[in-house]
Structure 1
Amino acid sequence: MNSPVYIQIHNEIKKAIEAGKWKVGERIPAERELSTEFSVSRMTLRQAISTLVDEGILERKVGSGTYVASQKVQEKVSGVTSFTELTEAQGKKPSSRTISYHTSEPSLSEIEKLQLNDGDLVLRMERIRFADAVPICYETATIPEKLVSDFSKSEVTKSLYKTLEEKAGLMIGRAEQTVSAMLASEKVSEYLDIKRGDAILRLHQLSYAQDGTPFEYVRTQYVGERFEFYLNR
């Protein structure tokens, strides 16, 4: 199975950044120039760039362009953020709508995060999550395909953790999370019913089984004015 073209472009740009072609803080070429360089459509190029922005490798500056992101200062906090639990704790009804759900070759970032081997495939799904029918966040989750190949789409999208624990015998362990601020892209603003450039909170979460094996890599973008994190230290 071949990777989607945008994932291939994602990998090429990531390799170029790691090789020093563009330095931290440096503006990368315009989409028109890059789409010509890679011989792809502007739409495909934009999807690759958006994926790199979601991962925190690139960052967009309104009216200026797209830049290689600088390393953020990190602080460790305790607890695993669960959208469903947080929503229910506020007396609201959580729900979700699946935008895409497909098996693919992993990107370089996904290989690194999930410690995948050559030939491994991943399930990549995009969802919008709601609280009382109000869109709260846009989420992209990547899971090793071998973990979920025996389960239905409904079992995976409705309650992945419950399915893995009860039907695959996987014991859920810790999670690593980072939270940062960014501006909503046109795509995400449409999904979340906000304006392009509105403030959003970006959460990256890497979840591990109790034996230390990473099993889920999630990139989530929350509407800043509709959601807040409560961290108990």
Structure 2
Amino acid sequence: MIEAGKWRVGDRIPSERVLALEFDVSRMTLRQAVQTLVDEGILERHVGSGTYVSRQRVQEKMSSGVTSFTELTEAQGKVPSSKTVTYKVATPSLSELEKLHLKEGAKVLRMERIRYADGRPICFEVATVPYDLVANYGREEITASLYRTLEANDLQIGKAQQTISAMLASERIAEYLELKRGAAILRLRQVTFLTDGRPFEYVRTQYAANRFEFYLEK
């Protein structure tokens, strides 16, 4: 409905009860679908008011080198680790098709991970990559450090497009990151490209705001 223009920027969408009936799904399924769109920045919740199609935020163009979580953590003298929550080959969503420039019928590998530094949870990450790019790699090669695996196979990491915003932790994210529900979260959405211009990764990451900060030199 958003893609078709029935719901426009700034519009409040119907209640969960109404949408669950309209799409003939359970309230739980509907709530998870809405939360996914909130996490991707397509919808936004207004406390006490409802859920709206997101307005475009003010953006400042920033430049920085692309660094993996593993490299970033090690550079600060900490030990990186990950816990894989889900790992599956799936049909891409509309946003994944668009961000990764995929054709209809393509498959993606989608994985959810909790990333740690010295055993402390720092962020929850949903990473999507074209399946044909990683089909020949083992699960451990991909989940441990995708960037290092690609570079070891002569695929060079290029630029990234990033969007950073603020939000509050949902019950699920608060549990994963050992936070109180409603704690401050920094949300990063990133599309990363190879040096030949191909987008190979679409990541939606939620950082515990009291454990992580972004620093860029311009």
Does structure 1 residue 82 correspond to structure 2 residue 62? no
1:154 to 129, 140, 155: 140
The residue type equivalent to 2:136 in the other structure is: D
More helix by share: 1
Does structure 1 residue 126 correspond to structure 2 residue 112? yes
The residue type equivalent to 1:111 in the other structure is: L
Cα 1:86–1:165 change in 2 (3 A) is: closer
- How far 1:217 sits from its partner (Å)? 0.3
Distance in 2, Cα, partners of 1:63 & 1:133: 36
Distance in 1, Cα, partners of 2:137 & 2:70: 21
TM-score by length of structure 2 reads 0.95
Q: Deviations over 1:116-142 (max 9, x none)?
A: 012110000000011111111100000
Does structure 1 residue 26 correspond to structure 2 residue 11? yes
Q: Deviations over 1:140-191 (max 9, x none)?
A: 0000000111111101101111112223x32211111111111111111111
TM-score by length of structure 1 reads 0.89
Q: May I ask how many residue pairs the two structures share in their alignment? A: 217
Instruction: Find the residue that maps to 2:2 and give its secondary structure.
Output: helix
Matches within 5 A, 1:169-208: 169-208=154-193
Q: Structure 1 unaligned runs (5+)?
A: 1-15
Kept after mapping to 1: 8 A contact 2:70/2:145: no
Q: Structure 2 unaligned runs (5+)?
A: none
CA RMSD of aligned residues (A): 1.3
Kept after mapping to 1: 8 A contact 2:68/2:147: no
- How far 1:54 sits from its partner (Å)? 1.4
- How far 1:81 sits from its partner (Å)? 4.5
- How far 1:197 sits from its partner (Å)? 1.5
Does structure 1 residue 91 correspond to structure 2 residue 69? no
- How far 1:35 sits from its partner (Å)? 1.2
